Copies of this chain bind each other. A is one copy, B any other.
Amino acid sequence: MSKRMKICINTGGGDAPGLNAVIEAVTMAAYNRQWEVYGIKCGYTGLLNTDEIITLTPEKVNGIASVGGTILGTTNKGNPFMMPVCNAAGESELRDLSDRVMDNFRRLRFDALVAVGGDGSLDIAHRFAEKGMPVIGVPKTIDNDMGGTVITFGFDTAVSIATEAIDRLHSTAKSHDRVMVVEVMGRNAGFIALNSGISGNADVILIPEIPFEIDKICDKIMDNELHGHKYAIVVVAEGALPKGGDVISKGTGEAGRQHVVLGGIADYLSKEISRRTGKDSRSMVLGHLLRGGSPTTFDRLLSLRFGAAAVRAIEMGKFDHMVALHSPEIAMIPLGEALGIQKRVRPDGDVVLTGRDMGICFGD
């Protein structure tokens, strides 16, 4: 701790509960080492336009761990390796501005960058590391689909909000003998749908990893009906897909496809289930609700641990690495390794088995 370091931090990609907690921990851990800390606004934009850099102090970050969003903004103006710029002819073209970022980083005498972001942002971080920037990554994904870490912050909050919403929808569905289709985030991985669906006592869970047949869903709903359970909750990840893929258009013609495009998977399923079972059905898209606002206690703590660990990693000079949770401890893994892995729900994992044991239909 002999040298007085000068570090900076940015947050990239979509909003996630816990970003501010990472910023608070990085700032405090640096401050308690008597380092200087700076916040780069809007992803890498602040390293292109250095007006967008702010000093971070204990006063500025005190208590923000429990506040949603990020005080640094996440609105990337683009990837600095392929930045859309306006050329002499007035046309937009992509240009590699990464050297300008490197120059600014060195000119400002930064000793390290803590890059908080999803696989896109961390891929950029890794490329800067290869150009010589001392970078530590902090993984961020609501969907829990990043490799190398058991879990990242934001996911527990998203699952909790979704479960609470499903809890609320139960009572109305039950009072009205209705099918309720709830769409949650998850384009490539169904973790949010899976976890909130099981916690929320869903009847059907549809995820990208397990292609569904709509008849299986209707079978389940009508089977329940025979057992006096006259309503149903269907939780569907936005990226859930029918088996074969052409099933959706069957019986609904091209209009069917269009419905999917216009109203999303939840809207499509709601209409199709209603058509096939004759039951009243509604859809609800939770989308934006899941990524904003105050993190759960779990996510708050995990974010703080990630932030503090990033500073300790700088101290140890362990660059081009990413902090990760290897329960119950924090580990450091090479960025290059982590970026290669995309996590998906294991159809034979214990969580899916738990769902099946509970009698939940996965549409397969």
Closest 4 CB pairs of A and B: A68-B171, A69-B171, A168-B293, A327-B327
Give the interface size class of chain A: 35 or more
- In whole angstroms, what is the CA distance A310 to B106 when docked? 54
Q: Is the CB of A308 within 8 A of B65?
A: no
Q: Is the CB of B175 within 8 A of A312?
A: no
- Contact A350-B327, Cβ < 8 Å, known A304-B199, A304-B358: no
Q: Is the CB of B304 within 8 A of A175?
A: no
- Contact A67-B171, Cβ < 8 Å, known A304-B198, A308-B354: yes
Q: Is the CB of A289 within 8 A of B165?
A: yes
A28 cross-chain contacts in B, Cβ below 8 A: 357-359
A90 cross-chain contacts in B, Cβ below 8 A: none
- Contact A291-B172, Cβ < 8 Å, known A177-B75, A298-B156, A305-B354: yes
Q: Is the CB of A304 within 8 A of B354?
A: yes
**Chain A interface residues toward B at CB < 8 A:** 14-15, 17, 19, 24-25, 28-29, 31-32, 58, 62-63, 65-70, 73-75, 150-151, 156, 159-161, 163-165, 167-177, 180, 195-196, 198-199, 201, 262-263, 282, 284-285, 287-289, 291-294, 296-298, 300-301, 304-305, 308-309, 311-312, 325, 327-330, 349-351, 353-354, 356-359
For A195, the closest partner residue in chain B by CB is B301
Q: Is the CB of B176 within 8 A of A74?
A: yes
A-B contact pairs, 11 of them (CB 8 A): A31-B359, A151-B328, A160-B297, A167-B294, A169-B288, A171-B293, A262-B263, A284-B287, A305-B350, A309-B350, A312-B353
A289 cross-chain contacts in B, Cβ below 8 A: 165, 168-169, 284
Q: Is the CB of B292 within 8 A of A29?
A: no
- In whole angstroms, what is the CA distance A196 to B327 when docked? 18
- Contact A358-B170, Cβ < 8 Å, known A175-B74, A199-B65, A327-B150: no
Q: SS class of chain A's interface: helix, strand, loop or mixed?
A: helix
Q: Which of B62, B177, B296 contacts A296 (CB 8 A)?
A: B296
Q: Which of B29, B32, B69, B151 contacts A174 (CB 8 A)?
A: B69
Q: Is the CB of B357 within 8 A of A312?
A: yes
- In whole angstroms, what is the CA distance A62 to B229 when docked? 11
Copies in the complex: 4
A160 cross-chain contacts in B, Cβ below 8 A: 296-298
A54 CB, min distance to chain B CBs, angstroms: 14
Q: Which of B65, B75, B201, B296 contacts A175 (CB 8 A)?
A: B75
- In whole angstroms, what is the CA distance A67 to B171 when docked? 8
Q: Is the CB of B68 within 8 A of A170?
A: yes
Q: Is the CB of A63 within 8 A of B201?
A: yes
A68 cross-chain contacts in B, Cβ below 8 A: 167-168, 170-172
Q: Is the CB of A201 within 8 A of B284?
A: no
A169 cross-chain contacts in B, Cβ below 8 A: 288-289, 292-293
A173 cross-chain contacts in B, Cβ below 8 A: 292
Q: Which of B151, B172, B195, B349 contacts A69 (CB 8 A)?
A: B172
Q: Which interface residue of A171, A177, A263, A311 has the most chain B CB atoms within 10 A? A: A171
A15 cross-chain contacts in B, Cβ below 8 A: 171-172, 175-176
Known: A169-B289, A301-B351. 5 other contacts (CB 8 A): A28-B359, A65-B201, A160-B297, A171-B293, A199-B300
- In whole angstroms, what is the CA distance A16 to B144 when docked? 28
A165 cross-chain contacts in B, Cβ below 8 A: 289
